[in-house]
Each structure stands twice: as structure tokens, then as C-alpha cells.
Structure 1
Amino acid sequence: MDDLIRQFINPYYVQVLTLLGIFLIAALGLHLITGVTGQLSFGHAAFLSIGAYTAALLNLRLDLPFLACLLAGACAAALAGVLVGFPSMRLTGDYLGIATLGFAEIVRVVFMNLEITGGARGLAGIPRETNLVTVYVLVILTIWAMYRLNNSRFGRALVAIREDEIAAECMGIKSLWYKVGAFAIGSFCAGLAGGLYAHLLQYLNPSDFGFARSFEILCFVVLGGLGSIPGAVLGTTILTIAPEMLRFSAEYRMMMYGILMVLMMIFRPSGLLGGVDLVRSFKHLLSKTRNTATPAGGT
């Protein structure tokens, strides 16, 4: 299927669109942790790397099917999220951010020193299994799952914790369990994205999963608007495609990228779609259109 698509679309564009879909899945996971639950995380790249290395090693060493490797990598990242979540979710704000940053650095250094992961040389020879269709099927499933989660009792409890954790505790919400659950689901999404990333680039290096990668994914969510699924999609799309469009000025590309971020934070601090519910707006517009189309006194 990927070869067929490349006959009609430039392979470079296919690669960029595939990476965009992978980053979308990772950003939607962080959206649940930071945007919905309000827990600041600077270590999302750690779960991306856990999913990537787990999926790649299972494929290389045990020759497991691609989808089984993806699921195993995602579950390994979710388990890591639970293990780091229980002690760190008692922290809030900057303290939680520092704790997750420390965890991310521990994971990166461990992968850099393990022989099975190739150490600082990196892990090469990973089969190319990821394609555009598989990625966007998983993107659609992830967006659907996030919408269902946001509108569930679990999602409403997460929003209550974000708005006022003490009040949520008084209403009987066990905030620790809900926060750890959100962290596990967000880490699962990151691990899934990591497995796709590994089987797309066919090479992994611990340096690809440093603080810069975590900060990049956080920018996707913040630029689009915290707590907004369409915002996470829009922010990821802009910040993934914009650097590619600015390659004509390689010397000033990152400066222009930074200016864009600064301007957005000045003129739209809540993010592009922060506080905007597109589904509710669409339903309101549809209802208004129907009322306008129905003649007065009509049935």
C-alpha cells in the first residue's frame, strides 16, 4: 500500500505526513496528561523511547508480528507510566515536571549504556513496517478514544482534578488513582507512537529521545490549546510542517520557528483552539441551520 501511495505522492511528502501522524498520537497522549488532567510532564520522550526500543527489539530478536510488537511496546510504556506515576503523582506543578524530566534522563542514559540496545551507536536494521495507512488508522482510533474518554465519567473526573484537586477529593474522587490512570493511558499512546517511529526510520539512537523531544511534544499541545483535541491536532500539524516549509532558509529556520511560538503566546496565550469545543460548535451551527431552514409555523 505504501509503495502504491508513493507512485502518486512524492516520497518526501509521504515521509513527512507519516511522521506527522506518529507525533499526533504522542501529542494526544500528552494532551490527556497535561491538557485534561493538568499534570506537567517533561518526560514524554522517555515513554516514546520505551515503546520504540521494546517494539524494535521484539521484532529483531523474537521476530514477532509488527502489530504484536506495537502493542507490546505500548504496554511496556504504560507499565513504566504506572511505575513512575505512583511516586511522582503526589507532586504538582514544577516539582512534577522536574521528576518526569529526571526519569526521562535516567531512561535515556540506560538505553545509551545497554549492549542490547546498541548503546551510543544506536540500534540499526529494524524492518520498515510502518506505512501511511497504518499510522492514520491508528490516529483516527486514538482521536475517537480520546473523545470517548473525555465525555466519560473518567474524563470528567480528570477535568475536576485539573480545576481543583482538593474540591475533587471532597467529592469522593480518588485523585491519585485517576492521575496515574491518565498517566498510563498517555504513556500507552507515546509507546505506540514510539513503535511506529522505530519501524519507520529503521534506526534508533538514545539522543533522539532527549529533553528536546519532550519539549517539542509539549509545544504541540500548548500551541494548539491545552485540553483541546482539535488543538493538539492543529498544533502538531503546524509545528511539524512549518520547519519543513522553512528549509529554504536553513540558517534562520529555528529563529523563525521561535518567533512564531513567541507571537502565538503573546496574542493567543490559551493556544489556537484553547477553550474551543469544535464538536459543540458544529452541533450548534447545525441546529441553527436547521432552524433557519424550517419555515415559520412549519412542521
Structure 2
Amino acid sequence: MSTVETTSRNLTPSAAAKLRRTAWYRKERFSRLWAMIALGLLLAVVTGEQGNTRDIFFSLESTFTSPRLWICLAITVGVWALREFAGTPIKGSFTKVKSSAKATTSGPVGSLLERFRTDKRLRLGALALLLVLVLVIPSGLARTWQTVLVDQIAIFALLAIGLNVVIGWAGLLDLGFFAFFAVGAYSTAYWTGRLPIEPPVILNNFWVIPVAVVTCLICGVLLGAPTLRLRGDYLAIVTLGFHEIIYLVAKNADGLTGGPQGARLIPDFSIDFAGIEYKWSIKPLPYWYLLVFFIILVIFLFSRLEHSRVGRAWTAIREDEIAAAANGVDTVRFKLMAFAIGASTSGVAGVIFTSKYGYINPEVFPLLQSILILAYVIFGGMGSIPGVLIGTAILVWLPEALKDWVDPSDRYMYLGALLVVMMIYRPQGVWPSRRRQRELRMAEEGMGDADAMSEPAGGKIS
């Protein structure tokens, strides 16, 4: 008889219960507290005083003796306390309101909600009202915020919708997605005759859009073809290398891309058809309306694609690629389609961005932008088009809103802290898809992985 069996037989029921009991500091609530305290300490250090070569501990000493440390800890611990002790009552109140609304379907509120769910015309009317607000409200904003809407929110919304196809629907982790944006931008410079090599024909910017989309589609296939056997972290490293290849080619191929000097004097959009003449200028509003048109078009096409046979194949690949292949899904073809179709939005965004600025160089396409687009998709909710749009709007707006109070070098530190808090308390995102919510709930119950991308190539290991 082993020592373990002898000891277990000699244990009293109370002693055995103590062995099964989890220590208080290891419970989930306090594990989250330690994470929030660590986040507060890290935030205080990275946003504190800069170090110097003469005193390597100067930064730490100044941080731990300044009020900044206690402010950061108060914020993070306050968020923890609010979520842990007030989150359940608030959620219960919302649940009661929701259940009472369902119970009173004969009342005005319940009947309106029921009608909104069943009446397609009412939903279309709400979308039309939202579209009117999107088109009208920017005209009343300051010029600075109009520029933010065009140059950052709308452009990155297009890119995030494309990345959502790759990572949210097909489950392929792509860390170099911004490289396709560079391809679209340099396609614009080439077909408008602003690169060292002359194109066969000079095209209007509107005609450049389909050409740039096709170019990005081809680049998506070229990236996807040699990486089909890779998943998870390995695929992320390959896509990271793809971004660096595009960046280095743009920087060093002087005779092809203009090198560090880039391309200048790229023409604006213009229309000259059937007596109608109009030329876009540096004013942001005309570009805002143009971007809204393309965003709506992409959302319509991708929404139809999500619920098609292709979208269901992507879902099967994301959840379990081995099982999908065993059930007849051509994983190679559909993964190539995900890379290509996701990259197509970058062509549109690259053409509009380049035409508005009239100048590009390799430094416009840093690796940080690829990481930010991925953060927008995860923060908003992978697999959800409304979530991707909301996540992009919030995370682009926040650094601009903090610029009067926060040092520019620290803005992304606070953005990172927000992402950490979001991943601790709401990993599914601001507006997640129903499928993503179900996956996380099953993972919490021990019935599956929270993320199919983390599964090894050979399937789940039990």
C-alpha cells in the first residue's frame, strides 16, 4: 500500500475538505485583483519619468516616490472593485428590465421591440436614420475632428472589416495586414504616374480602385499559398515577415518605389462625365462621403458572404480545421479566399488615403499599424461587423481625446491598459458575434477552446 493511500485513509472528512478547498488568494476574484495591481504598477512605470545613463534606477525611484503610482493603483483597483462588487447587481438590473420587457409584449415597449425584431421595414428605417446621422453630423464638427474621421476612423474601419474576414471568420492570425494597405497606396502612385517607372496608361483615381483591389487580391493569394500549413503563432510570424518584406522593398527599391523619398504630387479624385465635373480637394468632408459609400458597400457584400456557403466554410475552418477537412471542406481554397477577400478592402483604403494626402513614403506603413488594426478587431468583437466598427471608432477616438491631457508618447500606454482590462473582464469584445459568445461560454464550462486559433495543428490535445 502506498504512502498516499495510507495518508488519505487516515484523513478525517474535515481534513479532506481542507485539502480540496482553494486558498483565498488563488480564487478568480483575487487573481483578477493581482492582475489589476500589476497593471497599475506597470502603467505607473511606463508613463513615469524617463531613465538616464548615469542612474539606471532613476526612473523607478521617481515613479515609486511620486503620486502617479498611487493614482494608477487607485484607478486599476477601483475598476476591479466596481466590476467585482457592482457588476453583478447592475447586470441583474438589466436582466430584470429585459425580462420585464419580454413579459409585457402587449405593452408599448414590448410590442415595439417585438415589431423591431420581426418587421424588416422597421429595421431598414432604423438603418436609414443611422445613415442620415452619419452623413449629417460630421458637417457640424470642427475641422480637426473631420480630419480624424476621414484619415483614421473611416480608413481604419475599412481595414478592420477586411481583417475581420481573416481573423474573425476564418480564424487565421494575421499580424502583417497593414502591408496590403501599402500595396494599395503604391498601386495608386504607380497608375497615376508618380513612381520612377512609367505605367502603360495613366488612370483616373476611380479606375485605380478596382486595379488596386485586384492587386491586393493577388498579394493575398501569394501570402496565403506558401503558409497554408501554418496555424496560430507560426502563421503570425510569417505574416509579420510579409509586412517587413513589403516595408523593406518600398524603402530600398529606389528605381521601383522611389525609396525613402516616396511618391509626391499624387492627384486627387476627380469626375468629368456627362457634363458633370467635380474635383476633390484637401477638405475632409468629400472624402468622408466617399469612404462612407465604400464602407456601406463592403458591409453589404461581406454580410452576404458571411451567411453564404463560403462563410460557413470559414466558420468550420476556424472552429476545427481537421474536422472541416474530414467533412469535405476544401480548406486550402477557402483559406486562400479568406486572405484574398480580406486584403481587398486595403486596396480601396490605400487609394483613398493616398489620393487625399498626395504623398506617401515607407514610413507611413510601420508595423505598429498592423498591431493596432488587430487590436481594433479584438476590442470590438471578432466576427462582428458592428463590433469592429465600434472598436475602431473608440480606440481611434480615445488617443485624440486624451491629447490635451496626456503626453503623446504615453497615449498608447493607456490604450494598452484599456485593452488589458477589456481582456480580463470582457474578452469577447464590445459587440461580439453570437457565435463568439457561445464559444467563450463553452470554454468557461470546459466544453471547448475559447479560440480555435490556439488549437494545435493536430487537433485538440486531451
The question of a shared fold, defined as TM-score above 0.5 by the shorter chain, is answered with: yes
Partner residue, 2:171: 38
Give 1:113-128 correspondences, 5 Å limit: 113-115=252-254, 116-128=256-268
Q: What whole-Å deviation, never above 9, does each CA across 1:31-50 have from its counterpart, x for those lacking one? A: 00000000000110111100
**2:340 is equivalent to residue 209 of structure 1:** no
Partner residue, 1:94: 233
Q: Secondary structure at the match of 2:402?
A: helix
Give the conservation status (yes or no) of the 8 Å contact 1:231–1:271: yes
Partner residue, 1:77: 216
- Give 1:71 deviation, angstroms: 1.5
Q: What whole-Å deviation, never above 9, does each CA across 1:204-254 have from its counterpart, x for those lacking one? A: 121221210110110110101111111111111111111111111241422
CA distance in 2, matches of 1:204, 1:276: 40
Structure 1 vs Structure 2: percent identity of aligned residues? Answer: 39
**2:422 is equivalent to residue 264 of structure 1:** yes
Partner residue, 2:158: 25
Partner residue, 2:147: 15
Give 1:136-285 correspondences, 5 Å limit: 136-251=292-407, 252-276=410-434
Q: Secondary structure at the match of 2:229?
A: coil
Superposition TM-score, scaled by structure 2 size: 0.57
Unaligned runs of 5+ in 1: 278-299
Q: Secondary structure at the match of 1:108?
A: helix
CA RMSD of aligned residues (A): 1.9
Amino acid of the structure 2 residue aligned with 1:133: Y
CA distance in 1, matches of 2:395, 2:426: 16
CA distance in 2, matches of 1:200, 1:29: 21
CA distance in 1, matches of 2:398, 2:369: 16
1:154–1:120 Cα change, 3 Å: same
Partner residue, 2:71: none
**2:268 is equivalent to residue 112 of structure 1:** no
Amino acid of the structure 1 residue aligned with 2:193: L
Partner residue, 1:282: none
CA distance in 1, matches of 2:416, 2:405: 14
Superposition TM-score, scaled by structure 1 size: 0.87
Stretch deviating more after TM superposition (23-32 or 262-271): 262-271
Give the conservation status (yes or no) of the 8 Å contact 1:56–1:69: no
Give 1:59-74 correspondences, 5 Å limit: 59-61=192-194, 62-74=201-213
Amino acid of the structure 2 residue aligned with 1:77: C
Partner residue, 1:295: none
Amino acid of the structure 1 residue aligned with 2:253: L
Which structure 1 residue ranges, 4+ long, deviate > 6 Å from structure 2? 4-7
Give the conservation status (yes or no) of the 8 Å contact 2:175–2:374: yes
CA distance in 1, matches of 2:165, 2:411: 30
1:222–1:8 Cα change, 3 Å: closer
Rg (Cα) greater in structure: 2
CA distance in 2, matches of 1:112, 1:200: 22
- Give 1:7 deviation, angstroms: 7.2
CA distance in 2, matches of 1:240, 1:128: 25
- Give 1:73 deviation, angstroms: 1.3
Q: Secondary structure at the match of 2:171?
A: coil
Q: Secondary structure at the match of 1:213?
A: helix
* Bigger RCO of structures 1 and 2 (CA < 8 A, at least 6 apart): 1
Stretch deviating more after TM superposition (64-73 or 131-140): 64-73
1:229–1:249 Cα change, 3 Å: same
CA distance in 1, matches of 2:314, 2:434: 18
Amino acid of the structure 1 residue aligned with 2:169: V
Q: Secondary structure at the match of 2:429?
A: coil
Stretch deviating more after TM superposition (119-128 or 64-73): 119-128
Q: Give 1 or 2: higher helix fraction.
A: 1
CA distance in 2, matches of 1:89, 1:141: 29
Give the conservation status (yes or no) of the 8 Å contact 1:74–1:195: no
Give the conservation status (yes or no) of the 8 Å contact 2:160–2:377: yes
- Give 1:6 deviation, angstroms: 8.7
- Give 1:256 deviation, angstroms: 2.1
1:98–1:124 Cα change, 3 Å: same
